[in-house]
Amino acid sequence: MLLVEKGTPGLKISRALDKHGWRSSDTAELAFEDCRVPADHLLGREGGGFYAIMRNFQNERLVLGAMAMGEAQEALELTLDYVTTRKAFGSTLYEKQVVRQRLAMLAAQVEAGRQLVYHAAWLDAQGVDCTREVSMVKAYCCELVNEVMYACVQFHGGMGYMRESTIERMARDARVHSIGGGATEVMLEEVAKRLRR
Ligand SMILES: Cc1cc2nc3c(=O)[nH]c(=O)nc-3n(C[C@H](O)[C@H](O)[C@H](O)COP(=O)(O)OP(=O)(O)OC[C@H]3O[C@@H](n4cnc5c(N)ncnc54)[C@H](O)[C@@H]3O)c2cc1C
């Protein structure tokens, strides 16, 4: 792994990427062409970059799971505010059993996801190999947040589809969680390899 300073000859930001969500962060492709880097810019040991990135992935995946559960909780709270005030067909949306039961089940799942994050973080802090649990966190929490966002947009009705509503942006921002840092399918393979304790 090499540190390449901004402005190094041969390093070019070749294309800024126009993202579906996370629009407040810039993401771009970098191109390296005849880019010479001093030997003292080596980070760690030569040939060890892959393992360093893999180690970092554990932390990144835990953090993404925690982010996902925080976003899911906020979305549920926003939606609770909305459905308890919005009236349709003679009552608030919350008074419709199907709406409040869906929110109740999602709240239970988010609580379960959060506890899984805490458990994996605790194992990691003990220095235990927790690739299995961290991969579970990444797969479960990052799919769940999208399930929550789908329901929350749905219960906001037409307003949930409008750019002016917070939930619309939150749903777009959450989409990346099941892709970035290792797609769900890849995470499930990591879990599957470790199913037998
Ligand atoms: C906003 C954003 C920021 C990012 N930031 C970074 C960054 O800072 N650093 C970095 O290194 N990367 C970054 N990435 C890249 C990210 O990690 C990859 O996009 C992600 O790992 C998926 O890889 P891919 O795009 O090559 O998709 P592919 O590998 O082409 O996979 C496409 C899809 O195929 C399916 N799939 C893939 N493999 C399997 C499999 N083995 N079995 C079954 N199904 C499979 C999944 O559904 C997957 O989403 C970022 C991506 C985004 C969108």
In this prediction the pTM is 0.94
3-state secondary structure of 2: strand
Nearest ligand 1 atom to alpha carbon 22: 1
Ligand 1, pocket-test mutation among 27, 53, 57, 179, most atoms within 8 A of CB: 179
Q: Return the residue matching tokens 């959450």.
A: 174
d(CA 66, CA 119): 11
Do 35 and 62 belong to one domain?
A: no
User: Which CATH number does the domain housing residue 67 bear?
Assistant: 1.20.140.10
What percentage of the chain carries pLDDT values higher than 70? 100
The residue type of 175 is R
Q: At what angle do helices 49-85 and 97-125 cross, to 10 degrees?
A: 150
Q: Return the residue matching tokens 């609770």.
A: 80
152, burial (CB in 10 Å: exposed 0-12, middle 13-18, buried 19+): buried
Q: 36: domain range?
A: 11-41
Mean pLDDT across the chain, nearest whole number? 97
Is 2 contained in some domain? no
What percentage of the chain carries pLDDT values higher than 90? 98
Domain count, the chain: 2
The residue type of 23 is R
Do 181 and 126 belong to one domain?
A: yes
Is 22 contained in some domain? yes
d(CA 3, CA 133): 31
158, burial (CB in 10 Å: exposed 0-12, middle 13-18, buried 19+): exposed
**φ/ψ bin of 68: left (φ > 0), alpha (ψ from -120 to 50), beta (otherwise):** alpha
3-state secondary structure of 95: helix
**Whether residue 55 has pLDDT greater than 90:** no
Do 28 and 96 belong to one domain?
A: no
DSSP 96: S
Do 74 and 165 belong to one domain?
A: yes
185 is a catalytic site residue? no
The model's pLDDT over 81-118, given as tens digits with 9 standing for 90+, comes to: 999 999 999 999 999 999 999 999 999 999 999 999 99
The model's pLDDT over 35-44, given as tens digits with 9 standing for 90+, comes to: 999 999 999 9
User: What separation in Å is there between the alpha carbon of 99 and the centre of ligand 1?
Assistant: 34
**Whether residue 197 has pLDDT greater than 90:** no
User: What separation in Å is there between the alpha carbon of 78 and the centre of ligand 1?
Assistant: 30
Nearest ligand 1 atom to alpha carbon 183: 49
Tokens standing for residue 178: 């099941």
Nearest ligand 1 atom to alpha carbon 19: 1
CA 108 to chain centre: 19
Is 49 contained in some domain? no
Q: Whose CA is nearest to atom 51 of ligand 1?
A: 180
Do 94 and 189 belong to one domain?
A: yes
Is 48 contained in some domain? no
The model's pLDDT over 119-177, given as tens digits with 9 standing for 90+, comes to: 999 999 999 999 999 999 999 999 999 999 999 999 999 999 999 999 999 999 999 99
| CA within 13 Å, CB half, 131 | 17
